[in-house]
Amino acid sequence: MIVSAVAVSAAVAAPVSAATTSVPDGWNATGAATGCPAGVRLLAPAQPTAFYAAHPEALVPPGGGRAGAGILRTARRNADARLHWRTELTCRPGHPGRPVQPARQRAAGTTANGASTNWSGYVTNNGPGYLGAAMEWLVPSVDPSNPNNAQASIWPGIGTGNSTTDTLVQAGTQQTGFTSTSCTKGSCVSQWNALYSFWFETFPQEPEQEITNLTASPGDDVSAIAEYDPVSGQAYFELADYTTNEGVYYYQPVTGSAIGSGSQAEWIIERPETCNLGCSWWKLQNFGNEPIINAQAVEGSTWDQVTYADAAGTNPASMTLYDCAGDQLAGVGPITGFTDFTTSWLRYGNFDNAPC
């Protein structure tokens, strides 16, 4: 059972940061990052595990100012889990990113706040000023009963990715099912495959990066924190797997003509894009009913609960996922307990040209 408790913030006029250097207190930048984008630095613990249990604020990335009660619960969960923090990081490029895409057609009778051809979940709408987002979830099992080539990514993040002034900073897990065919001397055999992975992205600066030395498996209880520190100009990523008791913590410089804090925070299940000669949306992998808990964001100077992310105290907007034909692929339920909601898979949909 996953313990629920986290938070998002009251709006503050200008973002502030407690960080003055790129390396947080209690950590060392080892530089042991192989195959990752230039500037990615792994953070390794500089203290014994007992230190982090006594000082969970050391597990809160820079950029969010004062650590509110919500994020301290998540940090304390990471500390109490006595996670084995990776001392090296290996990456390889994944899919290219894309900002949220509005649905051009809507199925009749829907009541969602917003419609998209690639995102389903919740998005705040009162930025700028967002510096980080976090959440916890269970890695869903890829459905073997209907072997469609399909994919789903689950992640928290900030920004839209529409430009370098609003970089999309995100991290999460990806679940892929696909069929491969191998042929020998004219005889061909098809095999269905399931792949699970952790990943991160700073879009449009870099495409998605898969983490190859931190393994995700179906049923794993995982969490992700993605945060931007405007003082150092770094994006920080903290990924934890409570089932395997492993975690990884690292940062990456965010470059661009005019870097700012995120215009929004988001907690999303996405059907990713694949590009070869052209680009298309994947079919949406069957993830069943996916509970998202401890959804939170930092806006300005403190972490607080999702439902208080808007300046007016209203809920974030829900996003409903449709394919280009207007068929609904996934829906999202109401926020409960201030931090939790469930996204439900409805159908695979089609491989669609991107954008529609």
Residue with tokens 């419609």: 115
Q: What is the pLDDT along the chain (356 residues), one digit of tens a residue?
A: 222 222 233 222 223 333 345 788 889 988 679 999 988 999 999 988 888 888 888 888 876 555 555 566 677 788 888 888 998 999 998 865 555 665 443 333 333 458 899 999 999 877 677 888 899 999 999 877 776 789 999 999 998 888 878 889 999 999 998 888 888 888 888 888 899 999 999 988 888 999 999 999 999 999 999 988 887 888 999 999 999 999 999 999 987 644 556 788 899 999 998 887 788 899 999 999 999 998 888 877 655 545 444 333 446 889 999 999 999 999 999 988 878 899 999 999 988 988 88
Q: Is the pTM of this model over 0.95?
A: no
CA distance linking residue 48 with residue 131, whole number of Å: 28
CA distance linking residue 78 with residue 249, whole number of Å: 12
Residues ≥6 apart with Cβ < 8 Å to 319 = 100, 112, 113, 114, 115, 116, 119, 120, 121, 122, 123, 268, 332
CA distance linking residue 94 with residue 91, whole number of Å: 9
CA distance linking residue 329 with residue 189, whole number of Å: 31
Strands (E), 8-140: 27-29, 33-34, 41-45, 84-85, 89-93, 114-116, 119-123, 130-138
Q: Are 121 and 318 in contact (CB under 8 A)?
A: yes
